Structure 1
């Protein structure tokens, strides 16, 4: 009786909505306007904290910041000084000392090649000298926003052998050369691509309806995120998810309902009956899809990282609000102005695609070959994931382009200075001399910085900074970091901090202690889909395909970003050497739910055909023919939204967008277009095995078309 109850419930929702049109429109209009007006406030309240409370590096960084007022979880600035070719630091000591003296501001920590105990050999080489500066940091995307103007003012007019110092370092490089733009730019790019696809799909003004639904869903979600910021610190990443994933998801759900409404009208139903039928069929699929996406995002909520939890909470609003808008405002729009928006197209036609009918027929006829080829392609694409490395992109990946900061860093490493110079490991200890002696001997350490003075020593406790020979995100750098942490264990009161140690702890916190999240999401999703599809094996197949599809997306992202294939061509960047530690788990949560959207769309239609008396092969071709164009169009819109997301000038976001874009593209083509129908055809009658007997219910879809529909009052 489950389907009958669900159908009746959706019918009642449709009746209520169509009976209260003005209330529905005014309510959504109010939410959208308030959300849109307050959107800038929402964005201003978003945070940039990626910390992992309770982890050793986090505690060390907090102790460092509390005691010294700088450093810890923020890398230093690098003031580079090019020296005349062939000259040494000693030959330019007077001018260099004058520059260093300008940098010794109150509350700032400085390490220069002129300082005793500063390991001059790692701060100067081959005509280049560098001074490390740790000013106090502020919250926000630019931690040295307050210090940089002060530093630049201090260096005004300073030269060494006629050359001006240049400021670089990860805090400067990570800001994308200072380029900042509002989220509306990415949303506009995504919406531009969406309107082109929708215009091709509908050929009429009806293309504007999904965009209107998306606009209402996005602005309302921003309003909910604003409320969330009053309770917890919400990550800045959420604005991109709301804006672009919200755009794609809301349009996806609208497409499903509108295309079913069109199909019913083409079959002869009047407008109101068509709306009600679309709600009881496509609307039901929308509910299950939205709940599935929401469940997958709950996996982020239970992870032990605050910023990922907020991404989960913020992301959770996206599908839920999109479902609500699609099931309330959209029916009102279709019933009220839908037919008038079918201009300039004059002739109604069904939504079955001849192209996808041929694709479905071919796949079903050659099911073994199709399944084998699709599986081989996915496994090949997934193979690079076996070499995945997690952390923060290497500094060389963000030091690209021709900006002064990027050029200065490239010159430093090109001159032979250590690659780990921009991200030193900070060690807080009660015995600095012992720390220098022990840590200098660790393999992979280029040198240890331990200048004297109050900025480095207070109350019997002091800091030393370990410069690794290799970037901490490289394989050699990670091994050296592990060795440094092991060597520091025996030092009096030692705590190891810095961004590299924080990254290692974040990877362990996410992937070492939260292995149970994936099985939990899989079990809950299965429990939701099995009764909805009245099948044991259809949801099992769907879950397996999701995992394989996501693994292929990971593999391609590793190949592109970590290994550096096509990064220069596509993004003007170099290989990152690692994938940002939070990307795989966040991408899994979104891709799992979004991919399941398409699976639910297709399987629901196949199930409908089966209930109408078709054979498994016939139902499969029927399902692909009626949903193929829908799934491809929806996926293309999401793909374009993620392409827009990849233009954000932050490497971490680019990697995330790449994973999402590739995942959606693969899922809608190889997986849902080929592998899903091939496997359904292969399983045959096994698909429909359902051990729970059902009484007194004949599925509505098995009845003659429109027999179940009744007129709905305006």
Structure 2
């Protein structure tokens, strides 16, 4: 650490030149990153839904199993010659779009039409490829729809691919809008804290620079793996929030060191050796938490972890290199020009008010610990009922086209097209013959009799069934022939059924529906595989939540070892983990209570009908909240240790540490709160949920936990705070952590 401090303070211009070049080279790549990100969660290895998808492709020759649903509103309606002619021109143009393999139009007076006050609604189904080709096809379909619209024909596009594309687009635009919203407020608050324009600009510069480079590296990752659109939000949240936190700590310590005499280079070097060590260890704890996301065997989740590790790693590097270099060159000019002259903004001394609070807290430590813990546990209670899944269109707020169009699709009775279950029956290598139709027909009948099933696509359905399901156009006989072909594999050793529900299934309702289908299939005597979007979503969610205990244990273990090295104590790491877990649990409980249960959801702009939290949210919230909560823990504990090693008693060290750090912690917390609240104004419910959870966590952590519960606990523990077995003390490397 000493070598780094001397390097950056002796060669500040060289350090700034290197970072300047890196930032300039990063800008073109960073700009292109959002377009390269994906909302597609990818596929799981050895999953049942994946096996079904492979069988449909390999055995049944299915290629374009993706669909785009186009809702048209016609004035006049399809039952008039002008309206029908306009609609047929629209369908003919749709059929000519690259990537559209088949178009199933609506029929005048059919079940896939309805009327409202604005005209006649009709549903048109376009079959398109999967993955990248499907994304390109939807982009072309949307461009065509915009071109084909007229005063007499309004067109909206929805479907699984359109919904996923909207997730990606709005995650990107929401992140940009959040930055634009947050930065002016952050600058105003920093000006209040420092009272000087130069000192105010430094944290913002570090945050923006680290985010730019991290986004460029994220773009490079998209060339070799699928990178989640959530990664952008994580990079922005972690980079901006932690970057400002660390810069706030470093600049505040530098101003304190300037008051002790010596050159600006000396003050910057001492700042790096003291506050810089705290930044390094704090960043390491955040990186450990984010690295926990690398454990689930899902590239979608791993990409979020990589984004978080990149963001915090570059933020720490910038804080330990760019900041000391700038501080060396600026010297006393860091306090210029002075805009505010209040003692609170300019003082680097201990806060009298917070010192008094610390003395009152430590005077009655046991009641404080019990009441604070009870309060946090109460907030955490709703988290026990947390439900997760893929929210689909319900994960977007009203006003987004793919979500609003889905409401129209459901009114026409075709919502089940987005929740189809695919069944493949394995005949064990035997070829299907007509005399086996009895059991096959009986199974179709049993599935069709299930509550909530609209139709079962098989060779035994009628043209009326097909028309009602939205899978047939005008030529019913041709469609029946095609349906018969799709029901048997090329070698006739596999059979296929498609179960279409009455309506689109929310993620919290789909498992019960799936269980009823499995029960019927199990009684049939056939060996079967069950797939489709609802099954794939459930499997994906279970894979993530199943990995959560491993992630939690790995993060706890890594954090314990790091804090053990930093503070040479057994109790301090255990206490830190327990209290951070309380913060995470309380914040998760609030998110569940609001987003899932709907309390105050409308006031926060969160839809009331999502029913679940996005599958990735529990593990993502844990990693980000646990990591960032450690910032304040290390800010406080490093000062406690510094005062204790300087000769103060345990109790006095705690009081002094609160006095010196509370102003920094509360200022940093308000800044991070602004960053996180900005994400609550987005149009993606998952992003809003992350913002809500982190905003709640930072408020609880910087008040109830860090400035009340922790000091009271440290008082109760007394000398045991610093106990370490002699045999372990001899074997551990000696590190010094100060701020």
Question: What interval of TM-score do these two structures reach, taking the shorter chain for normalisation?
Answer: 0.7 to 0.9
Q: 1:221 aligns with which of 214, 223, 229?
A: 214
Does residue 55 of structure 2 align to residue 69 of structure 1?
A: no
> Displacement, 1:545?
0.9
Q: Which residue of 2 aligns with 1:19?
A: 10
- Where does 1:41-190 land on structure 2 (aligned, <5 Å)? 41-54=32-45, 55-64=47-56, 67-71=61-65, 76-77=68-69, 79=71, 108=101, 130=123, 132-137=125-130, 139=132, 144-146=137-139, 148-149=141-142, 152=145, 167-169=157-159, 171-172=161-162, 181=173, 183-190=175-182
Does residue 699 of structure 2 align to residue 665 of structure 1?
A: yes
Contact 1:193/1:640, CA 8 A, preserved across alignment: yes
> Displacement, 1:153?
8.3
Does residue 568 of structure 2 align to residue 534 of structure 1?
A: yes
Q: Deviations over 1:159-183 (max 9, x none)?
A: 9xxx867544454456659867385
Contact 2:194/2:200, CA 8 A, preserved across alignment: yes
C-alpha distance in structure 2 between counterparts of 1:342 and 1:150, whole Å:
54
CA-atom RMSD in angstroms:
4.0
Provide the secondary structure at the position in 2 that maps to 1:564.
coil
Contact 1:266/1:349, CA 8 A, preserved across alignment: no
Contact 2:510/2:534, CA 8 A, preserved across alignment: no
Q: 1:500 aligns with which of 534, 558, 562?
A: 534
C-alpha distance in structure 1 between counterparts of 2:239 and 2:737, whole Å:
31
Provide the secondary structure at the position in 2 that maps to 1:145.
helix
- Summarize the Cα distance change of 1:226–1:418 in structure 2 as closer, same or farther, 3 Å threshold: closer
Q: Which residue of 2 aligns with 1:29?
A: 20
- Summarize the Cα distance change of 1:322–1:700 in structure 2 as closer, same or farther, 3 Å threshold: closer
Provide the secondary structure at the position in 2 that maps to 1:447.
strand
Does residue 200 of structure 2 align to residue 200 of structure 1?
A: no
Does residue 266 of structure 2 align to residue 273 of structure 1?
A: yes
How high is the TM-score relative to the length of structure 1? Answer: 0.84
29-38 or 148-157, larger mean C-alpha shift:
148-157
Residues paired across the two proteins, number: 680
211-220 or 322-331, larger mean C-alpha shift:
211-220
C-alpha distance in structure 2 between counterparts of 1:249 and 1:409, whole Å:
39
Provide the secondary structure at the position in 2 that maps to 1:50.
coil
Q: 2:250 aligns with which of 254, 257, 261?
A: 257
- Where does 1:193-592 land on structure 2 (aligned, <5 Å)? 193-205=185-197, 206-268=199-261, 270-345=263-338, 349-393=347-391, 395-396=393-394, 398=396, 400-401=398-399, 406-411=403-408, 413=410, 417=413, 420-429=416-425, 433=441, 436-450=444-458, 451=466, 452-454=480-482, 457=486, 459=490, 460=492, 464-469=497-502, 471-488=504-521, 494-512=528-546, 515-571=549-605, 573-592=607-626
Q: Which residue of 2 aligns with 1:682?
A: 716
How high is the TM-score relative to the length of structure 2? Answer: 0.81
Provide the secondary structure at the position in 1 that maps to 2:455.
strand
Q: 1:631 aligns with which of 665, 674, 685?
A: 665
C-alpha distance in structure 1 between counterparts of 2:160 and 2:397, whole Å:
8
Contact 2:420/2:532, CA 8 A, preserved across alignment: yes
523-532 or 485-494, larger mean C-alpha shift:
485-494
- Summarize the Cα distance change of 1:645–1:540 in structure 2 as closer, same or farther, 3 Å threshold: same
- Summarize the Cα distance change of 1:166–1:282 in structure 2 as closer, same or farther, 3 Å threshold: closer
- Summarize the Cα distance change of 1:699–1:267 in structure 2 as closer, same or farther, 3 Å threshold: farther
- Summarize the Cα distance change of 1:608–1:64 in structure 2 as closer, same or farther, 3 Å threshold: same
- Summarize the Cα distance change of 1:331–1:151 in structure 2 as closer, same or farther, 3 Å threshold: closer
Provide the secondary structure at the position in 1 that maps to 2:636.
helix
Contact 1:48/1:139, CA 8 A, preserved across alignment: no
Contact 2:163/2:392, CA 8 A, preserved across alignment: no
C-alpha distance in structure 2 between counterparts of 1:299 and 1:619, whole Å:
33
C-alpha distance in structure 2 between counterparts of 1:150 and 1:213, whole Å:
40
> Displacement, 1:681?
1.5
C-alpha distance in structure 2 between counterparts of 1:217 and 1:154, whole Å:
41
List gaps (5 residues or longer) in structure 1: 1-9, 706-714
- Summarize the Cα distance change of 1:425–1:14 in structure 2 as closer, same or farther, 3 Å threshold: same
> Displacement, 1:665?
2.4
C-alpha distance in structure 2 between counterparts of 1:80 and 1:429, whole Å:
37
Provide the secondary structure at the position in 2 that maps to 1:515.
helix
Provide the secondary structure at the position in 2 that maps to 1:516.
helix
- Summarize the Cα distance change of 1:380–1:495 in structure 2 as closer, same or farther, 3 Å threshold: same
Q: Deviations over 1:406-426 (max 9, x none)?
A: 5554355467x4764533223
C-alpha distance in structure 1 between counterparts of 2:657 and 2:133, whole Å:
49
Contact 1:175/1:650, CA 8 A, preserved across alignment: no
Does residue 609 of structure 2 align to residue 597 of structure 1?
A: no
C-alpha distance in structure 2 between counterparts of 1:422 and 1:326, whole Å:
48
Provide the secondary structure at the position in 2 that maps to 1:623.
helix
Contact 1:76/1:423, CA 8 A, preserved across alignment: no
C-alpha distance in structure 2 between counterparts of 1:491 and 1:157, whole Å:
54
